[in-house]
Each structure stands twice: as C-alpha cells, then as structure tokens.
Amino acid sequence: MSPQPTLSSTDIPQLSANADVNAWVVRTAELTKPDRVVWCDGSQEEFDRLTDEMVESGTLIRLNEEKRPGSFLGRSDAGDVARVESRTFICSEREEDAGPTNNWRAPAEMRAELERLFDGSMRGRTMYVVPFAMGPLGGAITQYGIEITDSPYVVASMALMTRSGQAALDHITPGSEWVPALHSVGYPLVDADGTSRPDVAWPHNEEKYITHFPETREIISFGSGYGGNALLGKKCFALRIASVMARDEGWMAEHMLLIQVTNPEGRTFTITGAFPSATGKTNLAMLQPRLPGWKVETLGDDIVWLRKGADGRLNAINPEFGFFGVAPGTGYDTNPVAMTTIERNTIFTNVALTDDGDVWWEGMTDEAPAHLIDWQGEDWTPDSGRPAAHPNARFTVRAEQCPTLSPDWNAPDGVPVDAILFGGRRATNVPLVFQSKNWEHGCFLGATLASEQTAAAEGPVGKLRRDPFAMQPFAGYHMADYWGHWLDIGADLGDAAPAIFQVNWFRKDADGKFLWPGFGENVRAVKWVTDRLAGKVPAVETPIGNLPRLGDIDLEGLDGFTADDLVPLFEVSDLSWLAELDVTREYFEEIGPKVPDALVAQLDEVGTSLKENLKENAEV
C-alpha cells in the first residue's frame, strides 16, 4: 500500500494570536502525523457533531432521549478504568523536588521515551486542539491551557468539564502564560505504509505515561483514555501543575469541594473540604440538609484554587466547569441533587445499560433490573456474581445543571472562605467533628489525614492509606514542601485565615456498623462548624483538638438517634491515639528530613498531652 500522507506545515491551521501556541501545534502535528488538525471552538454544534460521529463509530451509545435526553454511554478498555498512579510521573529537574510520594523520571530521559511513543501515534486519527480556561474567563485566579488530543471523547468531555473553545483561546494572547497539555490514546490506527490497524490492542500499563514537567509547566499523557489521565485540565493541570504554580506564586491549588451554607438567620458561610476520592466529597458538595431552615449551595465538588484577596482573606474558585463524579453509590436516597443534575446532557462511562436505553449502577436503586448490559458489554442479571457497573464508573456533566448551584459559582475573583474541613474514611479514632487548636495544628491534621483505599485508584480496596490534605496523588512537588507551603500561607493570612476542622462520617462500632447516619444528616456537624464560626458555642479542649459539647450537636428530627448515641462518635482513647501517633511518626520519617519543624512540634505536643491525660486518669 502507498505510504500514509504526512501533513505539511502549510496544511496545519495556525489560529492563535500567540505565536508560541501555533509553533507548538505545528511541531506536535509533524511528530504525531494525524490525518488532519482541527481547532475546537467549544460550540454546541461542534459537540453535537463529535457525539454523532462517536455514536456512528460505536465509541458512544446514545441513550433513550425520553429517559435521558442528550446523554451518552461510553465504555473504556477493561485495563483503563482508573488513575494509574504507578505510571504517573513528576519530571522535575531534580529528583529531590518530586519527593518520596511521587514517581520521578529525569526530564530528558522521559522526553526521549515520549517522543518515540508519540512519533506517528495519531496516524489515521484527527488531532484536536482544545483551548480551555480553568476558572471564570478573565478571573483573577483563572489559568489557561491548550490540550492536544486524538480522542473525540476527550474533546467532548473537556467541553463539559472546562470553559473550552474560542473564548478561552482569545485570552491566550501574545506573551501570556499557558499550559501545553499533549495527549494520545496510544498506537496509530494506520501504519506508515498506509496499512490499516483496526485490531490494535490497548497499551498495557507499562506503556502508559501520565507525565508532568513542573519547571516548564507541561503535561504529556500517552496510552490512556480514562478521565483523570486524559482530561488533562483536571488532576494533571488543576492539581499537579497548578500546585507548583501556586507554590511559586503564593496561592493554593487543592483537592477540595466548595460550598456555601446558609443558616435560618440568613447568614452564609463559605466552606471548603479536602476529602480523598470516593469518600463522600460529592455528597457533601451537593448536600440536601435535613435540618429545617438550612440551605447548602454548591460551588464545586473536586478542585479549589485559593488566593489572598484585596481584603486579606483567602478567596476561592472552582476552576472546573463541570462534575466528573463517581456513579456507583449515587442514588436518589444518597445524593438526590447529583441524580437531578445528571438527568440530561451527560456522558456516562463504564455504567450498565438498561433494556430501555437508560443507565444503571450499584446504589442507584434498591433493586437491580432483571437484565442489563454490563460495563463491558456483556449480558448481566442479578445472579451474575459481578458488578454491572465498574466501581469507578463516572458521569460527566456541566455544573450549570446542578439545582443547588450557588449564584457565586462563576464569581471572577472567587468567594472568601470561612472554614476548611478535612475528612477521610476512618472506622476508628477520629470523632465526627472537631476543630483544630490553631492554623499550625490544622496543618498537622491535614498532613496526617488518612482514608481507606477506594476504587478511584489502584490498590487493595479497604487498606488504610495516608492521604495528606487529600493531595498525596496530586501534589506536583515534595510533600513536605507542600506542607510547608500551607504553613507559609497561614502565616501570611494571620488572623484572617479560615478556621480548620476535621470530620469523619464513617466511624464504626465493634460489629462494623456505622455509628452516624450520614448523607443529609451531615449538616448537623456542619451546623456546629458554623456555630463555632459565629461564636455561638464553646468547645471542649482535648489533646487532639477542640470537640463539641454533646448537647451542641443538633439532633432535632433525627428519629431513633439520641444523645447517648453521640458518645461513641466522640470518644477519644488516649492509648489508641498514642498508638496512631507512633505510626504517624514513622510516616513523617518516611517523608524525610524536610518535614517542617512546626508539624513535628505538633506531633510532640499532642503526644505529650495524651500521656498527661493517661497519667491523670491513672492517678484518679
């Protein structure tokens, strides 16, 4: 067969006012050798055209227009269903800057390997150029990027997740800063000689690379079509690269939700929360409070950028434009706001297909349908003995469809933050809610945050894993330096710093039953947080932090739950906590000598207080 034609530089559209952008597009096309190059304008017409093409090719399934209008189902390769942390690299110039929690490769070595893989990788495909903004266009905290990809699924998803297209490109003016993000799903569909390769197998894990170059603010991803590995504006830009930018420029990029809580008196509080993936973050972001007169409004469910405002307070934005939520476990009983949000115009990935053209996943309804097509395209019944949807199945939808969306969600300069929550999935030790003693102690709580392993990342589900600030998989530099950056931010903010709290909805009794009903009842813990912010209630000082008086947790209307049931939720065992501190000290030693002295001092202070408690109780 005749050789595959190669685009010349004159055939490649150059549509940016920024010459550096145009040059990068040309270089990438010459390397990857696509059939054509398309600059994406972000229009609805473009989205409709792409989804029509993907339906025709079998990449997407159009769902029942009556039951799920404007929505689609996609299925990824069975080996490409989650973040691949083992193949995610921070390619800083110095290995020590990546730190012990990141995989590191020398930049020159990684670039050579990637250039080999990307050479001709887009043959037989279209190369899409996707300009995008992270944050409101023109906002004080907003950053811009351009993703090049050969995946129309990525283009459509980026249209839902970011402010993509011409409007973003207009802000990437000559001389302005922008983040280049290059992605390819893998091997070409056509060989150099023009031979079709329709049966090319998906790359194995060792052939996947999700790489970040902090000094040059670049992202390069090869061999994965999964959301966090392919939608490069998300974790790759908004956390790993942005965290480095934030360190250098004096702001913060965090794995957080963002909500506004209004009490019956009409006072509104803005609260962020750092929670590891799949531990109730989206549920809290879309909370429907089960206390009369309380309102919770959503600004974001996953990523927050924070910068000191003119008034000296910490302002926050959600840099994303949509939600990329975990479907399993989401239902009208657990998260009715999310279910309403995804009633239309949603891309679902790796969920099950019903016989009438709708979607289903575990936790969506109490009973499963009698028959489904599972996430791998196979027939499924309740007796199949396997999940119908992948545990990390997702929905992608624009935030504007959320019925609880705050009017401030698109505020160009963000909203001032009153409180920061840290939360994980802990069966023991950690109380339902408590407040840090001060900013430094709050940083200690963040640095020692741990949660049970979930399906959102590789590894055995259920194993306790350290996830400081819910950022261990996402910090783009040394974790100890990241902790130090938090301490520096607090010192700069002074008395204007937000208050810090820790919450835990997942404490269990000796029989393994959850002690707290959770979901909409979590507003009762949030109410105590706001009462503390308003100066309405005192706190009980303990070695681990300031706990509520049990009578200050509002149990009105919580049937079958009494003040006695609160006791085990707030039990602080000195011996158990001392044992945990021993493990924490070992963890600090693993992080290394760069752990800030202030956090080691907090560890010592908490341990000393616990030992004094034990001594006093023994004497009594």
CA 527 – CA 463 distance, rounded (Å) = 31
Q: Is 308 annotated as a binding residue?
A: no
Sign (positive or negative) of CA dihedral 365, 371, 376, 377: negative
Is 519 annotated as contributing to ligand binding? yes
The CA-based dihedral angle spanning residues 139, 143, 144, 147, taken in that order and rounded to the nearest 10 degrees: -140
Domain-wise residue ranges, the chain: 9-60+83-250, 253-321+406-611, 323-401
Domains 9-60+83-250 and 323-401 share a fold: no
128 is in an annotated binding site: no
393 is in an annotated binding site: yes
Would you tell me which CATH number, out of the four given (3.30.2320.80, 3.90.550.10, 3.90.228.20, 3.30.450.40), belongs to the domain 253-321+406-611? Answer: 3.90.228.20
Cα 498 to Cα 399, 489, 529, distances in angstroms? 26, 11, 12
Cβ(157)–Cβ(396) below 8 Å: yes
**DSSP labels for 417-470?**
--EEEEE---SSS--SEEE-SSHHHHHHHHHT-EEE--TTSSS-TT-EEE-GGG
9-60+83-250 CATH choice from 3.40.449.10, 3.90.230.10, 1.10.275.10, 3.40.1260.10: 3.40.449.10
By C-alpha distance, which of 359, 392, 396 is closest to 374?
Answer: 359
Q: β-strand 256-262 against 359-360: which pairing, if any? A: unpaired
Residue 385, marked binder = no
32: three-class secondary structure by DSSP: helix
Confirm or deny that 408 is annotated as ligand binding: no
Query: Is 488 annotated to bind ligand?
Result: no
Residue 616's pLDDT is 86
Task: Give the number of other Cβ atoms within 10 Å of residue 428's Cβ.
Answer: 13
Tokens of 306: 């924070």
For residue 346, report the phi and psi dihedrals to the nearest 5 degrees: -130, 140
Is 194 annotated to bind a ligand? Reply is: no
Q: Is 226 flagged in the annotation as binding?
A: yes
Residue-level pLDDT at 461: 43
Which residues does the chain have with pLDDT short of 70?
1-6, 9, 198-199, 201, 278, 452-464, 620
Helices (DSSP H) in 143-274: which residue ranges? 152-161, 166-169, 227-230, 242-249
Integer Rg of the chain from CA: 25
- What CA–CA distance (Å, rounded) separates 153 from 225? 8
Superfamily for domain range 323-401: Phosphoenolpyruvate Carboxykinase, domain 2 (2.170.8.10)
Q: Residue 608: in which H helix or E strand, if any? A: helix 597-619
Q: Is 392 annotated as a binding residue?
A: yes
Closest C-alpha to 476, from 121, 218, 274: 218
CB 371 within 8 A of CB 352: no
- Nearest CA among 73, 52, 71 for reference residue 349: 73
Tokens 């003016």 belong to which residue? 173
Q: Is the dihedral of CA 129, 130, 131, 134 positive or negative?
A: negative
Tens digits of residue pLDDT in 539-577? 999 999 999 999 999 999 999 999 999 999 999 999 999
Task: Provide the 8-state DSSP code for 86.
Answer: G
The reply, when asked if residue 139 is annotated as ligand binding, is no
Structure confidence at residue 441 (pLDDT):
98
Residues 6+ apart with CB under 8 A from 282: 257, 301, 302, 323, 325, 326, 330, 335, 338
Tell me: is residue 546 an annotated ligand-binding position. no
507 is in an annotated binding site: no
- Tell me what pLDDT residue 198 has: 67
- Is 520 marked as a binding-site residue? yes
